[in-house]
Amino acid sequence: MGVRAKTTIVEKAAKHFKEFELPLDIEYKSYLTIVGPKEAVSAIQVKRSFKAWKYLLLAVKKYHPELMAPKPAPKPAPKAKAAPKPASKPAPKAASKSKE
């Protein structure tokens, strides 16, 4: 297939990966069920342009590296600082037992 057809398919797939927040190691059947058969890139288009689903995934990774970037982890909520405890006297030492 021509370069223009491949580019169109890659852009369409990348749009779905962004829109549905799909992982880049997803199987085609899972992709199809999530996106829907009417909107998804058809298996025939994938076969004609890329020969296999895995090659389409490689093209998406190559031309859209922002999809591979890990999502920033949410910042932990700040913990409330506990009031300092008043200084207490040290605990008395326990008498040591001698063995006899």
pLDDT digits (tens, 9 = 90+) for 5-54: 999 999 999 999 999 999 999 999 999 999 999 999 999 999 999 999 99
- Nearest Cα residue to 41 out of 72, 8, 65: 8
**Cα separation, 14 vs 38, whole angstroms:** 16
Query: Is 0.75 topped by the overall pTM?
Result: no
**Cα separation, 67 vs 80, whole angstroms:** 36
pLDDT digits 0-9 by tens, 69-80: 766 666 666 666
Indicate the domain borders of the chain.
Answer: 3-67
